[in-house]
Amino acid sequence: YRVIMVDEYQDSNVAQFLLLQQLAGVEEHASCRVCVVGDDDQSIYKFRGAEVQNILQFQHQFPETKLIRLETNYRSSTQILACADAVVSHNKDRLGKTLVAAHGEGKKPTLVFLPNQDDEASFCADLIEQLHEKKVPYGDWAILYRTNAQSLTFETEFLHRKIPYKVVGSLKFYEREEIKDVLAWLAFLANPRDQIAFRRIVNKPARGIGATSQDKIVSASAGSSILETARSFKLSKKASEGIQSFCAIADELNSFFADKNNSEEKLSAYIQAVVQKSELEELHKADDELTGTNRIANMQELINSAVLYPCTNEGLLDFLDHIELDRTLENEANEIADAVTLITLHNTKGLEFPRVIITGMESGVFPREDKTGAELEEERRLFYVGITRAKNDLYFTSCALRRLYGRTNYMSPSPFLHELGEQNVRMLGQKPASFESVSEGSRDEEGNPLSKKWHVGLGVYHDDYGHGQIVKAGLSEEGEYVISVSFENGGIKRFLPKYQSSALMVEENV
Give the tens place of pLDDT for each residue, 431-462: 887 676 444 444 444 557 788 788 877 888 88
What are the pLDDT digits (tens) for 102-121?
Answer: 989 999 999 999 999 999 99
Q: What is the CA radius of gyration of the chain?
A: 27
Is 291 a residue whose pLDDT tops 90? no
Mean pLDDT throughout 182-187?
96
Given a cut of 90, whether residue 496 has pLDDT beyond it is no
Q: Name the more confident of 143 and 474.
A: 143
> What is the rounded CA–CA span in Å between residue 364 and residue 366?
6
Read off the amino acid at residue 36: V
Q: Which residues of 459-491 are buried (b: 16+ CB within 10 A; e: fewer)?
A: bbbbeebebbbbbbbbbeeeeebbbbbbbeeee
Residue with more model confidence, 163 or 289 = 163
175-322 against 449-506: fold identical: no
Instruction: State which CATH number among 3.40.718.10, 3.40.50.300, 3.20.20.70, 3.40.50.970 fits the domain covering 110-164+336-435.
Output: 3.40.50.300
pLDDT at 440: 42
Query: Looking at the predicted structure, is the pLDDT value of residue 505 above 80?
Result: yes
pLDDT at position 506: 85
Give the pLDDT of residue 434.
Answer: 66
* pLDDT over 90, % of the chain: 63
Torsion of CA 221, 224, 230, 231, to 10 degrees: -140
3-state secondary structure of 478: coil
Helix orientation angle between 267-277 and 177-190, rounded to the nearest 10 degrees? 110
Decide which of 83 and 459 is more confident: 83
Q: What is the pLDDT of residues 1-55, one digit of tens each?
A: 889 999 999 999 999 999 999 999 888 877 889 999 999 999 999 988 899 999 9
pLDDT, average across residues 317-321: 94
Which pLDDT score, from 0 to 100, does residue 478 have?
67
Which pLDDT does position 476 carry in this prediction? 72
Residues 374/375/377/382 CA torsion (nearest 10 deg): 150
Contact 186, 179 (CB under 8 A): no
Q: What gap in Å lies between CA 323 and CA 183, rounded to an integer? A: 9
Residue 221 Cα distances to 33, 199, 208, 249, angstroms: 74, 13, 20, 19
Q: For residue 442, which of 397, 412, 422, 466 has the smallest C-alpha distance?
A: 412
Residue-wise pLDDT tens digits, 340-377: 999 999 999 899 999 999 999 998 899 987 788 899 99
The 3-class secondary structure across 90-152, one letter per residue, is CCCCCCCCCCEECCCCCCCCEEEEEEEHHHHHHHHHHHHHHHHCCCCCHHHEEEEECCHHHHH
Query: How much is the average pLDDT of 129-142?
Result: 96
Residue 27: Cβ-neighbour burial (10 angstroms; 0-12, 13-18, 19+): exposed
> 388 and 421 in contact (C-beta within 8 Å)?
no
Interval 400-423 mean pLDDT: 88
* Cross-strand partners of 18: none
Confidence of residue 477 (pLDDT cuts 50, 70, 90): low
Stronger pLDDT, 41 or 465, i.e. the higher one: 41
Q: Identify the three-state secondary structure at position 236.
A: coil
Q: What is residue 278's predicted lDDT score, i.e. its pLDDT?
A: 95
Mean pLDDT across 48-69: 92
Verdict on whether the full-model pTM lies above 0.75: yes
What are the backbone angles phi and psi of residue 290, rounded to the nearest 5°?
A: -80, -40
d(CA 510, CA 507): 6
Given a contact cutoff of 8 angstroms between Cβ atoms, the answer to whether 298 and 149 are in contact is: yes
Q: Reduced to 3 states, what is the DSSP secondary structure of residue 356?
A: strand
DSSP assignments along 189-235, one per residue: HH-TT-HHHHHHHTTSS--S--HHHHHHHHHHHTTS-HHHHHHH---
Q: Which of 23-27, 31-35, 199-203, 280-284 has the lowest mean pLDDT?
A: 23-27
The mean pLDDT of 326-336, rounded to a whole number, is 77
Assigned fold of 175-322: PCRA; domain 4 (1.10.486)
Asked if 175 and 350 count as a contact pair (C-beta separation under 8 A), the reply is no
Q: What is the CATH number of domain 449-506?
A: 2.40.10
State the Cα–Cα distance between residues 101 and 81, nearest whole angstrom: 7
> Which pLDDT score, from 0 to 100, does residue 481 have?
84
Nearest CA among 382, 351, 181, 352 for reference residue 276 = 181
pLDDT > 70 fraction of the chain, expressed in percent and rounded: 94
* pLDDT at position 319 over 60: yes
Buried b (16+ CB within 10 A) or exposed e, 347-358: bbeeeebebbbb
Query: What does pLDDT average to over the chain?
Result: 89
Query: What are the residue boundaries of the structural domains of the chain, listed by start?
Result: 3-61, 110-164+336-435, 175-322, 449-506
Beta strands in 228-318 (DSSP E): none
486 band by pLDDT with thresholds 50, 70 and 90: confident
Of 235-239, 332-336, 486-490, highest mean pLDDT = 235-239
Most distant CA pair in the chain: distance in Å?
Answer: 80
The predicted pLDDT at position 439 comes to 43
Q: Which range among 60-64, 122-126, 455-459 shows the weakest confidence by mean pLDDT?
A: 455-459
> Which pLDDT value is given to residue 359?
98
Nearest to 55 by CA among 93, 92, 25: 93
The least confident of 52-61, 180-189, 240-249, 459-468 is: 459-468
DSSP 299: H
